[in-house]
């Protein structure tokens, strides 16, 4: 029976005999693992030649010889001659070099597993009998789908060093959480969440995962940022895997940089998992493109805490799209300042509440009236405000109508 081992090839010499499609495909994997790769082949694919020209790999333009195996940790034998591959496989075994025979895996000392990466775990599937690549890939993909769907508890069972993973949960719809974000939640011993983190995501966690709610609202900050930082560091230093679940993206007005700084100061390992930022995705979800050829070619993202700052006003005057996060209470002042600075009072504005969720609502109006309209309709945070021509009702339909048949 074949034994299964995970080999660390970082910085190790890997010899690739052959330069065709098989060698190219496997070579990409060796590169991702940090191996030092030497390709030996008279001719190679365009991909291999390009990698060699960029000095990512070393290429010797000749046939592979037995002496090329000296000092190697691993060899991929993928020439277009089955007998040569078999011969080199024997010689590699004599030199105690792990080798894959691409012509017949049963004649090598190693087999390539069909792998998938899930955070700090890798899943590999190999055939123990006659090689069957299509079969192992199908099994790999089926297992990976279950793991990435969040249905497998990936928490460590042995004690280890704690860490913090900052995860952007996206704008609200649980389906917009990234695959890596779901993996991270499956690894979590503790989840520190704010009020914008998806409740549907939290409901899928195992019952014994500690959930710490540190949610803030515009007029209520029950847990100050310093205390949030302390919670993250304290749990991580206790050996826990801590997921800091944040709405949108951690580094877009999410104070993720402050939390990373706290980890660095305490010597805590951390990872940042980017999220789908609401600044772009929420307008898109209601059919508002923040950039559109012929309408707006740039976008500025700001926060209501900054008010109508000079950069935002200058962007409006230049015809750029301005997206304001956390700006519901500041909307009257922003509109007033913009108009006073010369921005057209008829500039379209759209306010999207609770974007991508079942409670999504869009309120529209011209810049001069939008504060009054928002007040009369009871607009509440969280909301994304879009200011500019892209927010004009029927914008996309007008492009369709203008397109020649």
Long-range contacts of 106-112 (CB under 8 A, 24+ apart): 106/130, 106/131, 108/77, 110/74, 111/2, 112/26, 112/29
What is the β-pairing status of strands 163-168 and 241-246? parallel
Catalytic-labelled residue, pool 104, 216, 309, 369: 216
CB atoms within 10 A of CB 30: 18
Active site residue 91: no
Render 102-144 in DSSP notation, one character per residue.
SS-GGGSS----EEEEETTEEEEE--SSS--HHHHHHHHHHHH
What does the alpha-carbon distance between residue 303 and residue 5 come to, in Å, rounded to a whole number? 51
What does the alpha-carbon distance between residue 138 and residue 160 come to, in Å, rounded to a whole number? 33
Active site residue 216: yes
Catalytic-labelled residue, pool 68, 173, 194, 249: 194
Pinpoint the alpha helices (H) of 129-198: 133-148, 179-187
Is 5 in a helix, a strand, or coil? coil
What does the alpha-carbon distance between residue 82 and residue 63 come to, in Å, rounded to a whole number? 14
Question: Which residues are CB-neighbours of 222 under 8 A, at least 6 positions away?
Answer: 214, 215, 216
What does the alpha-carbon distance between residue 227 and residue 223 come to, in Å, rounded to a whole number? 6
Which residues participate in catalysis according to the annotation?
194, 216
């Amino acid at each position: 029976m074949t034994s299964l081992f995970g080999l660390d090839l970082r910085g190790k010499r890997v010899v690739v005999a052959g330069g065709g499609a098989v060698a190219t495909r496997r070579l990409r994997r060796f590169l991702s693992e940090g191996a030092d790769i030497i390709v030996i082949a008279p001719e190679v694919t365009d991909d291999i030649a390009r990698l060699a020209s960029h000095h990512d790999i070393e290429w010797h333009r000749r046939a592979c010889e037995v002496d090329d195996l000296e000092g190697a940790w691993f060899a991929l034998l993928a020439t277009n001659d089955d007998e040569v591959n078999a011969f080199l496989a024997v010689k590699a075994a004599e030199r105690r070099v792990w080798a894959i025979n691409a012509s017949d895996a049963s004649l090598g000392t190693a087999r390539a597993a069909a792998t998938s990466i899930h955070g700090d775990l890798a899943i590999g599937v190999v055939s123990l009998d006659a090689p069957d690549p299509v079969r192992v890939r199908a099994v790999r993909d089926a297992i990976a789908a279950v793991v990435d769907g969040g249905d497998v508890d990936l928490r460590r069972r042995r004690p280890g060093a704690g860490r913090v993973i900052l995860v952007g949960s996206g704008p609200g719809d649980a389906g917009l959480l990234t695959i890596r974000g779901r993996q991270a939640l499956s690894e979590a011993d503790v989840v520190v969440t704010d009020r914008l983190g998806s409740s549907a995501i939290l409901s899928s966690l195992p019952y014994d995962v500690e959930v710490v709610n540190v949610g803030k609202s515009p007029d209520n900050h029950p847990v100050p940022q310093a205390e949030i930082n302390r919670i993250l560091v304290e749990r991580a230093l206790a050996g826990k895997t801590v997921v800091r679940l944040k709405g949108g993206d951690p580094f877009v007005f999410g104070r993720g940089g402050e939390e990373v700084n706290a980890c660095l100061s305490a010597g805590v390992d951390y990872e940042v998992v980017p999220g789908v930022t609401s600044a772009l995705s929420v307008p898109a979800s209601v059919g508002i493109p923040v950039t559109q050829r012929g309408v707006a070619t740039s976008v500025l993202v700001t926060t209501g805490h900054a008010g109508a700052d000079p950069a935002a006003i200058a962007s409006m005057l230049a015809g750029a799209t301005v997206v304001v996060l956390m700006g519901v209470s500041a909307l009257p002042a922003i509109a007033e300042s913009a108009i006073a600075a010369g921005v057209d009072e008829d500039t379209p504005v759209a306010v999207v509440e609770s974007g991508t969720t079942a409670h999504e609502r869009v309120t529209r109006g011209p810049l001069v009236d939008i504060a009054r309209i928002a007040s009369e309709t009871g607009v509440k945070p969280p909301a994304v405000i879009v200011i500019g021509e892209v927010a004009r009702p029927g914008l996309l339909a007008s492009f369709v109508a203008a397109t020649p048949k």
